[in-house]
Amino acid sequence: MVQNVASSNSGDGSRILALLASAFGDAAYRYLSDPSVVDLMLNPDGKLWVDKLGEGMSFTGLLLTSEKASQIIYIVAAATKTVCNRERPILSAQLPGTGHRFEGQLPPAVPSPIFAIRKHTSKFIPLEHYVEQGIMSEAQKDFLVSSVHKKKNIIIGGSTGSGKTTLGRSILTEICKTGDRLIIIEDTPELECEAENVSYLRSVRDSVSMRDQLRSTLRQRPDRIIFGELRGAEAEDLLDAWGTGHPGGLTTIHCNSAKEGLSRLEALLRKAGIQDGKQIIGEAVDLIVHLERAPTAAGRRISDMLEVTWDGASYQTRVVVGE
């Protein structure tokens, strides 16, 4: 049955979802449609965990057998035409029909099958809503909006599940109001906007890297370059583009604070062979916003926001007032 999914139903998202619903069972599958659930995780012991906005992580009380877990992984692998078996036991994919990120593993890489699902949402949250929910202050919101229209380069930092992509969508909606030509580069499609003049570029495993797409972007006459997430040496190409005629960009980075985000950026530049990246950072980055999880109804908040400038010797930072 799994092989037939790949051969005859690869384009039928509803068919794939029906197969997954059957494999999960009603009690477990309902978490995928619960808007408050951000992550769904299965451990080797069969326990199913969820991470909910404003509540954090909790055990659902549900158990999945290793057979059911394997079936779910095989369905996703077949639907995405990806091999996942004992020889290639790790599966990274998008859940068909939803855009959710799916990461699964089979034995012998793990004692028993596991997976984690990061839910994708195209829901747009206005920046005003962030203020209403106490995620950011009015002053921070105004500074963000002003930075967008002044074509400042913005980095959103935070841990996994802190809401970086969701805030990115909200800022991107403001960017769309400028009428500029946008090039959006991602490995997993998550950012969406209603700009009239926009191109979406994707990396392709084993053939087209994010760095390849960045270099191609420069030949496509972008006004602004939006980059999904900085993870490696592509940081050099992005900051170089931002600092040499393509301002007004946006990207995300994993970090535990705004200052650590800048240190993380220096580490990524070292991967590209740049041992002292302070100047390229100071000349290219204008603002770094850090999000963190919080025990509130919103589930997150902006912990700090730093304006970045270059003084000719090193980059300097200034805290954007939060009140």
Neighbours of 246 (CB within 10 A): 21
| 182-186 and 90-94 strand pairing | unpaired
Range 171-182 average pLDDT: 95
Q: What is the pLDDT of residues 277-297, one digit of tens each?
A: 999 999 999 999 999 988 777
pLDDT bracket for residue 257 (50, 70, 90): very high
- Point out the domain boundary residue: 118, 148, 171: 118
Q: Which pLDDT score, from 0 to 100, does residue 12 have?
A: 60
Q: Which pLDDT score, from 0 to 100, does residue 323 have?
A: 53
Q: Which pLDDT score, from 0 to 100, does residue 322 have?
A: 61
Q: Kindly state whether residues 66 and 146 are assigned to the same domain.
A: no
Least confidently predicted of 8-17, 125-134, 166-175, 311-320: 8-17
Q: Which pLDDT score, from 0 to 100, does residue 290 have?
A: 97
Q: Kindly state whether residues 10 and 157 are assigned to the same domain.
A: no
Short-list 104, 99, 80, 62, CA closest to 5: 80
- Point out the domain boundary residue: 85, 118, 151: 118
**C-alpha neighbours within 13 Å on the C-beta side of residue 85:** 5
Range 252-280 average pLDDT: 95
Is pLDDT larger for residue 95 or for residue 209? 209
Please report, rounded to a whole number, the percentage of residues in the chain having pLDDT higher than 70.
94
User: How far is Cα 35 from Cα 272, in angstroms, rounded to an integer?
Assistant: 39
CATH number at residue 31: 3.30.450.90
- Point out the domain boundary residue: 64, 93, 118: 118
Domains identified in the chain, total number: 2
pLDDT bracket for residue 172 (50, 70, 90): very high
Q: Kindly state whether residues 26 and 137 are assigned to the same domain.
A: no
User: How far is Cα 164 from Cα 167, in angstroms, rounded to an integer?
Assistant: 5
Q: Kindly state whether residues 301 and 162 are assigned to the same domain.
A: yes
pLDDT bracket for residue 122 (50, 70, 90): low
Q: Kindly state whether residues 148 and 55 are assigned to the same domain.
A: no
Q: Which pLDDT score, from 0 to 100, does residue 99 have?
A: 79
Q: Kindly state whether residues 76 and 156 are assigned to the same domain.
A: no
Q: Which amino acid is at 92?
A: S
The DSSP 8-state label assigned to residue 296 in this structure reads: S
Q: Which pLDDT score, from 0 to 100, does residue 54 have?
A: 65
Range of the domain at 273: 127-319
Q: Kindly state whether residues 138 and 102 are assigned to the same domain.
A: no
User: How far is Cα 14 from Cα 20, in angstroms, rounded to an integer?
Assistant: 10
pTM of the model: 0.81
Q: What is the pLDDT of residues 46-97, one digit of tens each?
A: 999 998 876 778 999 999 999 999 999 999 999 988 999 999 999 999 887 7
Q: Kindly state whether residues 56 and 138 are assigned to the same domain.
A: no
Q: Kindly state whether residues 239 and 312 are assigned to the same domain.
A: yes
Q: Kindly state whether residues 98 and 146 are assigned to the same domain.
A: no
Q: Which pLDDT score, from 0 to 100, does residue 296 have?
A: 74
| Residue 180 region by backbone torsions, left for phi larger than 0, else alpha for psi between -120 and 50, else beta | beta
Q: Which pLDDT score, from 0 to 100, does residue 163 have?
A: 87
